Structure 1
Amino acid sequence: MGMPLYWRVCLINGLVLVAATVALAVLPVTVSARVLVSEAIVLLLGLAGIVVLNSLLLRTSLAPLDRLIRLMEQVDLQRPGQRLPEDGSGTVAKLVKSFNAMLTRLEIERGTSNAKALAAQEAERHRIAQELHDEIGQSLTAVLLGLKRLADRAPEELLDEITLVQETTRAGLDEVREVARRLRPGVLEDLGLHNALAALATEFSARGMHVRRVFSPGLPPVAPETELVIYRVAQEALTNVARHSGADLVELSLRRQGSHLVLGIEDNGRGLRGAEEGTGIRGMRERALLIGGELQVDDRPGRGTAVRLFVAAEGLS
């Protein structure tokens, strides 16, 4: 077991004082009753040497603590794997090892809790979408049927008003169905990832920006939870582009790159312009961690933003 930090500091200072005492005893140096300028210079040089030597020894011993403090200030659990080298022994080395072990536990616990939270979120989205479709959607459909029967018997002067109410109700029904579809991507379950991403591109193209699709052929199938994460990341990224970037052209791609499956969303908008990552990007990072993936967000001044999701080979089935 290494020497405790307290005793190490005491030993360093003791060695410095012993060296200074030996130097005074051995060197032919004397101090007059009235200190001369030359003697004062020697004393000051000796004091400076003691301070410098003591500082260097303490800095060497406490350097791991400085590295640990910097990592504590910069650590981000959304970017796992940040660790300090576990060199040496003693109190500082034990502290570094304990900190690394704590980071490992936190990453595991955070991943588990995030998986449960996102699973609960998807289940709640599914429930709300089902209620919107089954209850509100059916109620609005019944209203439309009632309005049609009313229009068949209504006097001529009321037909325009009834028609207006019908159109408003039909628009509301379409909005309810659209919200339900965004909450629960049924096309993903029914037709697969490629068709779901294609439908997503078509939906956002209808909002006024051109979404170009680039899907590599022969991509391997992935697990359902990986498909859902890829779809949600694409959905969130395209939503951010539509809301904040001012882009009129977006490329949505899905490619195989070495041992990774890569989802890309690149726009020609104004970029992040130094803004901090918002909840949308952090949410995408959380989802990427659930499948062992990595999210990269590149701000390209004058050329928009590029979002890429890398799913490692072990995430492929």
Structure 2
Amino acid sequence: MSPSVPWVAPVLYAGVLVAGEYAGLAGLGDTRQLPFVGGLAAAAVLDLAERRRFPAGAPRPAALGLLAARAALFVLIAAGDGAGLARVLFLLLPFTAYFAFGRAVSIGVGAGCAAAVVMAFQLTEPRWYRSPEHISDLLMFVLGLVLTITTAAVAAEERRARTRAQEANERLRASSERVAELSAAAERNRVARDIHDGLGHHLTAISVLLEKAAAFRDRDPVAADTAIEDAHRSARLALDDVRRSVGTLREAPFRLSAALDELARQARRTDDGQLAVTVDWSGDEHRYRPAVLMTLYRAAQEGITNVRRHARATRVSVTVHCAPTEARLVVADDGHGFDPGREGFGLRGMRERVTLVGGSVTVDNEPGRGTRLAITIPHQPEPAP
């Protein structure tokens, strides 16, 4: 039987049993108990064994054997039935065949069952076609076959739909897990970039200032104290950077122009005036999203940090233009440049950060003639709430 509607067969068995026993007790027919009751019991046991052995449905070879066994049992039951109702059991054959073999086989089995009924009528009543009772019985049996095959089609489609829904849910769950993994990876990368670009910059400044304080401690205590104070200031800025990275931007709007001016002042103080840092600002930053402004700031921060660490430059300029169509930041220095094939984590992280907001990064570098870092981010309207 179909795992989708396991109750159909027991209902029919019970109906046939009650009708046959009533006919025997009322003297309406000759019900032979052994083939009749024994056949029904065997059919019920067969269904139970099939459900236990094949809970998701029997494979085709087994289904064919089970179909033949049921047909034989139904013939046996019909032979012992005194009420003549056992023919309804043959409706189970096309019903079962539909789930195992499909619609075409089910219709063929149904046609065979109808032909078997006609043959039985012909053997028991040669002029059956002149009997309104026999014609009515045949018509009702054919209508039963149509309803049975239709019911099987609906049940099979419902089972297929449920299977498709389960598969879709599994795919959705796998996709959700994959999205969660990618989101976690993206967040880890973001945190890594923030640590490198923010804390890395300030810790470099603190290290330089503390070295300066140690060097001038005996020769110029005032300069040493100033360097220590600047180191404290850098530490406070680093703390502000951490707070900004974890969400304080929601409380206070981020101003790129003010942040870049402070970045330039800090760089000049840290290097004791040996590195001239200038900021040239134009345009309207308010038309850009905070994520874009923060990306430009991190790029400037990383550019200045790289200049101080590696370039041995005397001048660095930061140029920002927030135009209606795009925001552009350029960090240029007069240092000795670097090998283009030796980009470190900072530049790679910068490229990732800029790509996330739809921008691009270009690095013009020539050993001995300085480096020019350019960030371009097209303007994108704020998404609708």
The interval holding the TM-score normalised by the smaller chain is: 0.3 to 0.5
TM-score by length of 2: 0.38
The structure with the largest alpha-carbon Rg is 2
Considering Cα pairs closer than 8 Å and 6+ residues apart, tell me whether 1 or 2 has the greater RCO: 1
